[in-house]
């Protein structure tokens, strides 16, 4: 939803950034005990009271005077809502987590940001340093992830590049990289995984997504090599590549932009005007320069 909300805000002329999401996440408790961050299913959530009950629990954090699509204010929409199962929709004094539904990371690997769902990850991986195992595109990932000769273990950091708005193209949901089969057989159920892709909201794991700028556009992800050490530190909101500035400069000098995929048509239009994930992965010409004027009432 982060990408879509930023795109909608930009079209409406409303300033909204990744930092706004991180700020809200830091002060908003997680109360819905549903997968992938909790124990229950969406059906259980519905019968426990659903969205109205959840919003009622969070009422003091909401702008209750805002109108909803029903024509009523948000206050009117949640008034009288009840919670019927308080282990599914937790009370404020017994949250699933005090904060952390989303975290925005930055560092030399993601200068403009990346996102992770901390509660969907193995807690031990929220602060982790490991060597990179790099895949150039989804086809390369599928071809090699289960190769018995692949140099990888549970401490490795799986890196997928070429899956962003330009490289995908259109930022496919490839961010939940599969764990190598031989590690699964040893009981490994989560690894740090980094990409410029998206993933479904129901997916889980220590998956760092939306790395911006993307590799296809020359972002630092394009310069990562097998064996480079990468540190993820969610508490500090850091994503760092342990390679010197001088070495990165050498790699950048040797890097060449990928050739254009589409010489004409919609593909060429997309490539020329699509924005990066932190700007909504939307056409740049659709962003408003200010509030959109109301239509003439006549």
- pLDDT over threshold 90, residue 99: no
Lowest pLDDT segment from 157-161, 165-169, 186-190, 198-202: 198-202
pLDDT level of residue 298 (50, 70, 90 thresholds): low
pLDDT of residue 61: 95
pTM reported for the whole predicted model: 0.92
pLDDT level of residue 224 (50, 70, 90 thresholds): very high
In a domain, 274, yes or no: no
Tell whether 226 and 161 lie within a shared domain.
yes
Phi, psi of 141 (to 5 degrees): -60, -50
pLDDT level of residue 200 (50, 70, 90 thresholds): confident
In a domain, 231, yes or no: yes
Phi, psi of 199 (to 5 degrees): -150, 160
In a domain, 6, yes or no: no
Lowest pLDDT segment from 87-96, 146-155, 201-210: 201-210
Domain that holds residue 214: 103-254
Q: What is d(CA 138, CA 18) in angstroms, rounded to the nearest whole number?
A: 26
pLDDT of residue 69: 93
> How do residues 270-280 score in pLDDT, each as one tens digit?
999 999 999 99
Task: Tally the C-alpha atoms within 13 A of residue 248's C-alpha that lie toward its C-beta.
Answer: 16
Give the CA distances from residue 36 to residues 32, 41, 117, 147, 186, in Å, rounded to whole numbers and listed in that order: 10, 9, 10, 29, 22
Tell whether 78 and 158 lie within a shared domain.
no
- pLDDT over threshold 70, residue 297: no
> How do residues 243-267 score in pLDDT, each as one tens digit?
999 999 999 999 999 998 899 999 9
pLDDT of residue 258: 92
pLDDT level of residue 39 (50, 70, 90 thresholds): very high
Closest alpha carbon to 241 in 163, 134, 153: 134
pLDDT of residue 202: 78
pLDDT of residue 268: 96
Query: What percent of the chain stands above pLDDT 90?
Result: 92
Give the CA distances from residue 206 to residues 120, 150, 192, 195, 254, in Å, rounded to whole numbers and listed in that order: 7, 21, 5, 11, 31
- pLDDT over threshold 70, residue 114: yes
Tell whether 111 and 94 lie within a shared domain.
no
**Contact assessment for residue 194 and residue 239, using Cβ atoms and an 8 Å cutoff:** yes
**Contact assessment for residue 200 and residue 209, using Cβ atoms and an 8 Å cutoff:** no
Domain stop point among 80, 98, 116: 98
Over range 16-30, report the average pLDDT: 96
In a domain, 196, yes or no: yes
Tell whether 209 and 80 lie within a shared domain.
no
Known catalytic membership, residue 70 = no
> How do residues 54-94 score in pLDDT, each as one tens digit?
999 999 999 999 999 999 999 999 999 999 999 999 999 99
pLDDT of residue 173: 95
- pLDDT over threshold 80, residue 290: no
Tell whether 136 and 77 lie within a shared domain.
no
pLDDT of residue 232: 99
pLDDT of residue 187: 98
Task: Find the CATH number of the domain harbouring 120.
Answer: 3.50.30.80
Place of tokens 């426990």: 48
Strand pairing report for 127-136 and 157-161: parallel
Of 156, 200, 203, 215, which one is the catalytic site residue? 200
pLDDT of residue 115: 98
How would you class 27 by CB atoms within 10 Å of its CB: exposed for 0-12, middle for 13-18, buried for 19 or more?
A: exposed
Tally of domains in the chain: 2
**Contact assessment for residue 121 and residue 128, using Cβ atoms and an 8 Å cutoff:** no
Place of tokens 């056409």: 283
- pLDDT over threshold 70, residue 183: yes
Over range 145-153, report the average pLDDT: 98
- pLDDT over threshold 90, residue 289: no
Tell whether 203 and 111 lie within a shared domain.
yes
Q: What is d(CA 122, CA 112) in angstroms, rounded to the nearest whole number?
A: 25
Q: What is d(CA 121, CA 5) in angstroms, rounded to the nearest whole number?
A: 24
């Amino acid at each position: 939803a982060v990408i879509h909300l930023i795109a909608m805000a930009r079209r409406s002329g409303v300033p909204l950034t990744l930092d706004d999401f991180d700020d809200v996440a830091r002060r908003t408790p997680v109360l819905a005990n549903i997968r992938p961050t909790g124990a229950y299913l969406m059906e259980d959530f519905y019968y426990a009271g659903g969205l109205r009950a959840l919003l009622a629990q969070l009422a003091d954090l909401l702008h209750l005077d805002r109108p909803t699509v029903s024509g009523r204010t948000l206050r009117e929409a949640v008034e009288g809502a009840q919670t019927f199962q308080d282990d599914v929709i937790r009370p404020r004094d017994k949250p699933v987590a005090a904060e952390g539904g989303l975290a925005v990371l930055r560092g030399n690997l993601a200068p403009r940001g990346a996102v992770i769902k901390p509660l969907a990850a193995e807690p031990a991986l929220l602060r982790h340093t490991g060597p990179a195992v790099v895949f150039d595109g989804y086809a390369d990932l599928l071809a090699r992830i289960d190769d018995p000769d692949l140099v990888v273990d549970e401490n490795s950091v799986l890196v997928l590049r070429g899956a962003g708005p330009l490289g995908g193209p259109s930022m496919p949901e490839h961010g939940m990289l599969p764990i190598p089969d031989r590690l699964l057989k040893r009981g490994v159920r989560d690894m740090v995984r980094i990409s410029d892709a998206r993933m479904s909201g129901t997916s889980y794991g220590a998956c760092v997504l939306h790395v911006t700028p993307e590799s296809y556009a020359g972002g630092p992800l394009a310069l990562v090599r097998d064996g480079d050490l990468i540190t993820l530190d969610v508490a500090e909101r850091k994503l760092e590549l342990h390679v010197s500035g001088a070495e990165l400069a050498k790699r950048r000098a040797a890097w060449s932009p990928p050739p254009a995929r589409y010489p004409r048509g919609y593909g060429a239009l997309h490539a020329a005007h699509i924005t990066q994930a932190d700007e909504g992965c939307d056409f740049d010409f659709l962003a408003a320069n200010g509030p959109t004027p109301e239509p003439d009432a006549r």
